Structures are given as structure tokens and as C-alpha cells.
Amino acid sequence: MSKEKETSEEKEARKEAKDSLKNEVKELRTRLISHMQEIRDAKLPIIVLVEGWAAAGKGTLIKELISEIDPRFYNVTSPVITPEKEARYPFLYPYASAIPENGKIMFFDSGWMEDAVRKYLHREITKEIYKDRIRSVNEFERQLRDGGYLVFKIFLDIGKKEQRKRISSLRGNYSSEWRVSDEDMWQHNEYDLFRATYESFMEKTGKEIPWHVMDGTKKRKTVRDTLKLLLKGVEKALEEGRYVGKPFKEEFPLIKMPKLREVDLSPTISEEEYKTELKKLQKRLAELHDIVYRKKIPVILCYEGWDAAGKGGNIRRITKPLDPRGFDVMPIASPIPPELNRQFLWRFWTRLPRSGHIVIFDRTWYGRVMVERLEGFCTEDDWKRAYNEMNEFERQLTDWGAVVLKFWIHIDSDTQLARFTDRQNTPEKQWKLTDEDWRNREKWPQYEEAIDEMIEKTSTENAPWYIIESNDKKYARIRTLKIVIKALEKACEEHLG
Amino acid sequence: MSKEKETSEEKEARKEAKDSLKNEVKELRTRLISHMQEIRDAKLPIIVLVEGWAAAGKGTLIKELISEIDPRFYNVTSPVITPEKEARYPFLYPYASAIPENGKIMFFDSGWMEDAVRKYLHREITKEIYKDRIRSVNEFERQLRDGGYLVFKIFLDIGKKEQRKRISSLRGNYSSEWRVSDEDMWQHNEYDLFRATYESFMEKTGKEIPWHVMDGTKKRKTVRDTLKLLLKGVEKALEEGRYVGKPFKEEFPLIKMPKLREVDLSPTISEEEYKTELKKLQKRLAELHDIVYRKKIPVILCYEGWDAAGKGGNIRRITKPLDPRGFDVMPIASPIPPELNRQFLWRFWTRLPRSGHIVIFDRTWYGRVMVERLEGFCTEDDWKRAYNEMNEFERQLTDWGAVVLKFWIHIDSDTQLARFTDRQNTPEKQWKLTDEDWRNREKWPQYEEAIDEMIEKTSTENAPWYIIESNDKKYARIRTLKIVIKALEKACEEHLG
């Protein structure tokens, strides 16, 4: 319909429709803002992922959504996609590190979908890796939802013709020309290929957390529909309370492990053999560290164990030969507020090594199914779900190429008592012994049960548990060194670098 | 002395000296380790900066120093020097962000000296900028020392011949060849130039916190001397307690500012004018945001003001026209433990914008001389010193090219009371009013005195304060927008981009 032919009534009707839409948006916006304090009080974290075509108006949509919201309640992030060969962290790292804390909204101005699709179409990653990423995305989103996050996924759609028009207009203007990247031009030229891939991506990732395709040519209508969508989700969550996901079964290739009580703790090593072996193994580890660094293999060593089992000394024997520039030890204590207020794996995501580096976790994410389980710091559903969630997390790490090894430093109860007593009686060791250690000791049977279950359910082929016999600490150190060396040798061999 | 000519007595003596040095190192190391828990208890943060020639053995020295220390007590960082034209943060950012928390040691495997010297010799920065960086380094180190940090600075020295020998040996070996960078070769070729520059840098930065030049060819002796140095500093600090720096006077080009009570709060704006102006100014701000982004100008807007003065609404009028990808609002609440346990500016260093981005601080580092001063959260020396420290910090930001504007959103006491009462009586506003607000209100006179002093002492030409009359919030918004626009226009004009 051309403007010349519009009758005055039609004109009137159009204006009326526009005004009514404008008012509707205004009302919806006010309603959303009125919920902000409740969202904070309910500790509801919200993720709004806005994907879509170049020049579809993602930034503008987000601007409209946040308009009038107090900046204390939200953040916007526009992750930069690092070319695959320069990427030093796992695929999901930029997104998993940017999740909001409880009571806040994080708007992603494009995110994991664009990242995966673009790299796939650029052939920076193989079809197989692309499939793994789709799987990871499903895991990531489900974990967030199950952890109480509201996740909204929007795709802003425009046709090829419309995109051409917008790109031309941007490029025709000096002050906006820089906004059109080579990447955008390439997408436009390969519009059909991109459309097919976006659609298939959405189909494969829309089962649990649905996608909402919005019309990028109808700006105001899209703002209204998105506001409606957010409001529906938020109001439901405020009414029903924060969602807690149910545990579920997923098949992982598990290694059959013994129960702790079945482990023979008698092995020892002579002082002489210990010294010789230690020297030899540390020399070898230093060589391997060099190769790992050059081949950019990420290494993640996870230490758990009974109090006084000898974790600290064991870790020091590993770090001794390492180049300090290439490793970090991450002691994991109780979570601080910004950690407590996010999905439980966040504080580990943000502590991952760069590729080529080694990180040693002194205690790990497995606190979820030990202390958090036994002390009631999370719900039963939370810790029961966590076995799968941690297996998925570790698979994402090994997908990335990381070596992930998990050590349970094991002693028996008598040995622990002897060491506690020794610590108590030796002034320079007293700081190592706290009242909490004694309290935990009283719960030995409950812990043993939890640990047995943990090792049974999470010793996967890609990220296995090793129970390290540590009644003789020296034996334990040698054994751990050997396991690390063997795994690194294997990785260095397999890795083309 | 060649080995052939060594008599058996000489040989014996040499061996004895070596063994005695070995034992000495062992004892010193044990002594250092024995202090670790006290260092933690005394909340003593320690920085060990190891600078020196390529192939001088910086990594090896650090490895020897940390050997046997429990990894919970230290970290090692080897900052990557970003080429100047790719740097998106101020010069000191990588170092200021990496300072340790109380009770921990951070080893820097080269740092700010290498960064400044290398860029200067590469002519990535001008002589003038280099001088500013030397000044910043002195400020940075002094601020750390005055904030209770023990700062040790070591330069590992080797001669040109020795360096050549080491580089050749590294390059001759497949597994170590990658360790020699083009940068290292260049340094070697320009050895004399580097030596002169290192020496002059050390002379210019050694007055308050001294440099210790160590012999890189005498590995064990250097380990011993460094351990001795650390022990001397640590034992003194443990005995005397954490150092608190005294306030001192430094000249800054201050702008003469009125006292708060002298400010005429009567200006208002009509609803009509407000609407027209707001629209016009926001449009202009959007255009400028584009230019700022393209020219990579960092922008830092600081908001302070009385409770209920209208900070939030004022900020929202600034952010409304901005592209959400290019700005962040940083609400500053009470510091959390990792922040409390570091020099007070750390939590602001780590929140700086990338160049080309805008960060709006909703409350700022000036809490130091307001709430922290009045509530006794820091010592008198601390807050009195802070005026200078904050002026220095801001000068480092404007040296980097940032636009730094500071707003005091001002109302009178009656207006505050009226707004508090309104908040109390309006259900959807009640969350904005806390008991603390009422308590703070009772301290209005003390706050007013502190604020007057703050504005008097920190309104520098490079980072000025603006007292914004906000009895009429709309007037205040328009005025703030105009100031921001004017400053951005000026910056965009001056910046070649």
C-alpha cells in the first residue's frame, strides 16, 4: 500500500494502532520495572540471550528492554568471539564466566549460538566438534535452568533483502560504516547457508529451553512481545519460587572403582627408593611441563582427600619441578558472596587454566557432594543432580583437550587420629588443625558413604578418579607423580601441537 | 682458575664453601616457611618483583624462592606485555590488578619496569609518556607500601657475554629453542642501550623502595641473598606490625570550588524545556558515544551524592541513549573480602573500562574519605593520605587518555527529608530507603564537612568535581548531560584516533 492511496481513515487507524502499541510497551515496561525489587529479594538470576542476524537490531532491542531499569539490576555483555586457533579457554568459558548473580539480569548481545555456528561455517572446527558444542550448549542451559536461572533465548530474524538494505544504509554513512564488519558481509553473502544452520542449531537446542524467533523488521512489536515473554517467565517464577531441577540419569562411560574400605592402605616405600624415584620423576615432569606448554595442552589436577591425608605435601612434590610461570594452585575454601550467588560451577569455570597451563585444585567442585551434601548447604536434588553436572563439566573440559585427573588422597581413621594428635602437639603445625577438622572427623562414616558414592558415579574414562594410598605419604607422592606423568606423556603423544 | 690446575686442597675448600652455602640456603628457606602462618595472621601482603635480563634466570630464582612454601601462601604471575597500540587498559592495570591479598606473597616474573623500558626503547611511547610512567611507578609502589604492602624489587644482572652464551645454549637445543623470543634477541643486540636504560630507570624509581641488583651468574648465592633480604623485611614487619603511611603533600593543579552551603540550589527547569533539552542532548550523547567508541577513548563518570539526591535517575538519563555494548554501570557497595583484603583502590582498578568504553561508577573510591573516614573503617592516616592517592590514581587514568568527570549530586537537608518521607509512604519505593539512610542523615554535618574537604582537595584540572544542583532533579539531569557532552566533544576533538 503506497502512502498516496491511504485514505484519511486508514491513516487514522494506523496512527491509533501505533499509539496503542506504544502505550502497551510502556505499560509492560512499567510492570517489569515494578518487579525488579522482588526479583532481587527472590534471588532470581535471569539470562536473556539475544541472537540473530547482523544488522537485525539486537543492540537496539536490548536498549529498549533495559530502558528505565535501574542499572543496579542488570548488565549487558557482548562477548567477542576469539578465533579458534587463538582461543585459550574452553568453548563455553566466556559465557559460563559471565552468568549473572542472583537477583540480576544479564543480557547477552549474541552468545554461544553465534560462536558455534560461525566457527563451524568458517570451518574453524570440525563437524564432530560442532556436535559436541551443541551438546555442551544443551548441558549448559539445562544446568542453569536447574540451578534456578530463568533463561530466555531470542532470535531476531530478518530476510536477506532487508539485511542488504540495512547493511547498505550503514555502509553509506561515514559515522556508521565501521559497524559493518567483514564477518557481517560474509554472513550476508552466505545468507542461505547461515539460515539453514541457525535453524538447525535452534532445533537441536530448543527442546528444553525454547527459542523465540522475533521479527526484526517490526521493532516495536518485537519489543512488546519480548517484554511479554520476560514478564510471563518472571511472574511465574515469582509466584512459584525459584526452580530446583530434579536429578536425572545420563550415561557416562564409568570406570568400576573399589569402595574406600576395600582399598589396601599398607603399601610403603623405602626412604632410599623414595629419594631416587622422586628425583627421577620430578625431572621427567619438568620436561613434560615444557612440552605441555609448547603444545598448549591444558592440565587440570584435582585433589580431594581426608583432612591430614597429605594433600598439601603431595601437591608440593608436583609443583616443585614446574616452571612457576606455567602453573597455579587454587585453594578452594568456602565460597564468598559473588560465588555463593551463582550456579555452583561458576567459581571453577573462572579458575580454569589457559591452554598450556596447569592448574591444581586443592579441593574442588566435588565439595558439592561431600560437605555441601552433609551440611545441608544445598538441597538433596541439588547434590544428586550434581554428579551428572560435574561429569558434563569435565567432559566439556576434556572436549577442549584438557587432561583432567582426580585424586582422592586416602588414609584410614587411625592414621588421621595419629596425625591430628601430632599436629596438636607440634607448635609449628598447630595452624593446620582446626576445630572443624575434629567435627568432620566425627562424621567419618557419613563422609565415607558420600565419597564412595561420588567416586562410583563420577569416575569417567575421560576424567578418572585415582584413590591414592597415603598412610605412607611418600608412597602416595610417588604414585601420584607417576599417574600425572603417564597421563601427560599420553596427551603429548596424541597432541599434534 | 682452570680445573686442571686446582690442587686437591683447593678443590676441598671449594666443595666446603658450596656445601656451606647449600646449608645456609636450606636454613633460610626453613626460616621463611616458619613465618608463613604469622604472615597470614598479621595480614601482611608481600610483593616480590623480579626484573632482569632475558636468560638471567628470573624463573629459576622464583622457583628456588617458592620451593617448599605451601601453595596457599603465594602466587606467581608473569604478565604479558601487550603492544602499546593494542593495549586497552592503563599502563599499570595488569600490575595493579594482580596485587596479592593480605597474608599472601605475589611473585612478579618481570613487571612494570620491563613494560615501561621495552616500550620506550621500541619507541612505542614517547619520552614524555615514559617519564609519566616512571612517575606512576613511584606513586604505585609508594601507595602499596603506605597501604601496608612489603615490596621487594630485585634486578637479576648478567653481562653481555654471559647472556650470549646462555641464549646460544637455549637456541641450540630443540626443546628450549622456543624460549628465546625475537624480543630477547633484540635486547641482546641492544645490550648497552638496555643497560643504560635499566640503570636510569632503577635510579629514578629506587628512592623510596630500593632496588636490589643480584648477580645472575651466581645462582646459589643470589638465592641466599634474596632469601636474606625477604627475611629481613618480613621479620621486621612481623615485629613492628603492618606499616601505615603518613599523609603527605603533593601539588596538584586544583580548581577552586565553593563550599556545599554556598551552592545555590534554587535553579529549576520547566517541564517543557526539560523534555526538549533531554531529547536533544541524549541524541547528541548517542552520536558522541559512537565517536568515543571508534576513537577508543575511555570514559569514567563518577557519581557521588546525598542519599535520595537523585543519582540513580540521573545515571539512567545518561545511559538511556548509549549503546549497551559500550558502557557499564558499576554500583559500589561495601567491599567483599577479596576487596577488603587489598589496597583500597584495587576494586576500582579491576573495574576500569576498556578503552572506547564508558564506565559509570555509582559511588566511587571517594568512599574512603566519606563513609570510611566517618565510620572509622580506616585510620586517620589512611584517609588523609587518600586525597593524594586518589589524585594520583586519576592522573594515571587521564595520562592513559581517559575522560574522568566527578559529580556530587547535591540537595539540601529539607529536600532529603521530604524525599525520605515520600519513599516511606510509597510502597514501590520503600526498598530504596534503609535504616542506614536515616542513620547517615543524622550525621549530615559531619558528612558535609568531609565532603567539603574532599571536593576542595581533589577537584583537579584533569579530573574535576561538578556540584550538581539537584533539588530539581530534572535541572540536575540536564546539567549533567551538558557537562558530559562538552567533555566528550573536547576529547573527541583533541583525540586524533
Q: Which residues contact A122 (CB under 8 A, 6 or more apart)?
A: none
| Residues of chain A contacting residue B72, judged by C-beta atoms under 8 Å apart | 312, 329, 331, 362
Residue A82, domain member (yes or no): yes
**How many Å from the N-terminal Cα to the C-terminal Cα in chain B?**
61
Output the CA–CA distances (angstroms, integers) from residue B456 to A375, B22, B483, in the order listed. Answer: 53, 58, 19
Residues B310, B316, B318, B319, Cα dihedral to 10°: 160
| End residue of a domain, out of B240, B272, B288 | B240
The DSSP output letter for B154 is E
Residue B29 forms part of a structural domain: yes
Minimal Cβ distance to B315: which of A37, A71, A290 = A71
Q: Which residues of A345-380 are buried (b: 16+ CB within 10 A; e: fewer)?
A: bbbbbeebbebbbbbbbbbbbbbbbbbbbeeebbee
Shared domain for B178 and B325, answered yes or no, is no
Whether chain A has a CB inside 8 Å of the CB on B320: the answer is yes
A177–B contact, CB cutoff 8 A: no
Q: Is residue B177, in this structure, part of any structural domain at all? A: yes
Number of residues written out for chain B: 497
- As given in the structure block, the three cell numbers for residue B143 are 601507595
* B224 and B338 co-located in one domain: no
Q: Give CA separation, B274 vs B269, B280, B281, in Å.
A: 6, 10, 10
Q: How far apart are CA A231 and CA A236, in angstroms?
A: 8
Same-domain check for residues B202 and B318: no
**Does some domain include residue A222?**
yes
Q: Choose among A447, A337, A357: nearest CA to A401.
A: A357
The verdict on a CB contact (< 8 Å) between B175 and A72 is no
pLDDT at B495: 84
**pLDDT(A78) > 70:** yes
The count of domains in chain B is 2
Name the pairing type of β-strands B150-157 and B105-109.
unpaired
CA distance A251 to chain B (A): 37
Tell me if chain A has a CB within 8 Å of the CB of B72.
yes
pLDDT of residue B429: 80
Domain match, A347 and A269 both: yes
B440 Cβ partners below 8 Å, 6+ apart? B307, B447
Per CB-CB distance under 8 Å, the chain A contacts of B178 are: 294
For A100-150, the pLDDT digits (tens) are 999 999 999 999 999 999 999 999 999 999 999 999 999 999 999 999 999
Quick check: A287 and B175 CB within 8 A? Answer: yes
**B249, part of any domain:** no
Q: Which residues contact B138 (CB under 8 A, 6 or more apart)?
A: B204, B205, B207, B208
Identify whether B248 is part of a domain: no
Other beta carbons less than 10 A from residue A154's beta carbon: 25
Residue A4 has pLDDT above 70, yes or no: no
Judge whether B246 lies within some domain.
no
**How many angstroms separate the CA atoms of A414 and B412, rounded?**
70
Residue with cell 585510620: B379
- A431 close contact with B: CB closer than 8 A: yes
How does residue A496 score in pLDDT terms, banded at 50, 70 and 90? low
Q: What is the 3-state secondary structure (H, E, C) of B368-417?
A: HHCHHHHCCCCCHHHHHHHHHHHHHHHHHHHHCCCEEEEEEEECCHHHHH
Contacts of A36 (CB under 8 A, 6+ apart): A69, A70, A73
Low-confidence ranges of chain B (pLDDT < 70): 1-4, 496-497
Whole-angstrom CA distances from A320 to A283, A293, A473, A489, B173 are 10, 16, 16, 19, 23
Q: Rounded to an integer, what distance in angstroms lies between the CA atom of residue A389 and that of residue A383?
A: 9
Q: Are residues A132 and A268 in the same domain?
A: no
**Chain A environment of B59 (Cβ under 8 Å):** 323-325
- The b-or-e profile of B54-93 (16+ CB within 10 A means b, else e) is bbbbbbbbbbbbbbebbbbbbbbbbbebeeeeebebbbbb
Q: Predicted confidence band at A71 (pLDDT cuts at 50, 70, 90)?
A: confident
**How many Å apart are CA A201 and CA A114, to the nearest integer?**
10
Specify whether B206 is located in the same domain as B336. Answer: no
Q: Which three cell numbers stand for residue A381?
A: 536434588
CB contact under 8 A, B175 and A290: yes
Chain A environment of B324 (Cβ under 8 Å): 59, 62-63, 66, 76, 78, 107, 109
Q: Are residues A347 and A429 in the same domain?
A: yes
Is A380 an interface residue toward B (CB < 8 Å)?
no
Residue-number span of the structural domain to which B430 is assigned: 260-494
Cell numbers representing residue B49 in the block: 618483583
How is residue B280 written as a grid cell?
536533544
What local confidence, expressed as pLDDT, does residue B497 receive?
A: 52
- Whether residues B159 and B282 share a domain: the answer is no
d(CA B385, CA B247): 4
Separation between Cα atoms, residue B328 and residue A434, nearest integer Å: 42
Which chain A residues are closer than 8 Å to B301 by Cβ?
none
Q: How confident is the model at residue A1 (pLDDT cuts 50, 70, 90)?
A: very low
Judge if B325 and B467 occupy the same domain.
yes
Q: Which residue pairs, CB below 8 angstroms and at least 24 apart, start in A62-67? A: A62/A107, A62/A109, A62/B324, A63/B323, A63/B324, A64/A25, A64/A219, A64/A223, A65/A107, A65/A223, A65/A226, A65/A227, A65/A230, A66/A107, A66/B324, A67/A29, A67/B320
Measured between CA atoms, the residue of chain A closest to residue B310 is A70
Residue A370 in contact with partner chain B when CB distance is under 8 A: no
Mean pLDDT, rounded, of chain A: 95
- Domain end residue (candidates: A210, A240, A270): A240
Whether residues A457 and A369 fall in one domain = yes
Write down how long chain A is: 497
**pLDDT score, position B4:** 62
Phi and psi angles of residue B81, each rounded to the nearest 5 degrees, phi first:
-85, 115
- Give the minimum alpha-carbon distance from B270 to chain A in angstroms, rounded to a whole number: 22
CA geometry: angle B310, B314, B316, nearest 5 deg? 125
Question: Rounded CA gap, B270 and B280, in Å?
Answer: 15
- Cα–Cα nearest to B147, from B300, B347, B331, B301: B347
Cα distances (angstroms) measured from residue B53 to each of A478, B133, B167, B224: 36, 20, 11, 20
Cβ atoms A208, A141 nearer than 8 A: yes
Give yes or no for a contact between B359 and B88, defined as CB atoms under 8 angstroms apart: no
- CATH number of A276's domain: 3.40.50.300
Residue type, A31: R
Percentage of chain A with pLDDT > 70?
A: 99
Write down the pLDDT at residue B1.
46
Query: Same domain, yes or no, for A65 and A185?
Result: yes
DSSP characters for B236-287? HHHHH----PPP------BPP---GGGS-------HHHHHHHHHHHHHHHHH
Q: Answer yes or no: do B70 and A175 touch at CB < 8 A.
A: no
pLDDT at position A175: 76
Q: How far apart are CA B243 and CA B248, in angstroms?
A: 15
Residue B223 sits in the same domain as residue B277: no
What is the per-residue pLDDT for B8? 86
Taking the C-alpha atoms of residue B28 and residue B35, their distance in angstroms, rounded to an integer, is: 11
- Is B84 inside a domain boundary? yes
What ipTM does this complex have? 0.79
A317 min Cα distance to partner chain B (Å): 9
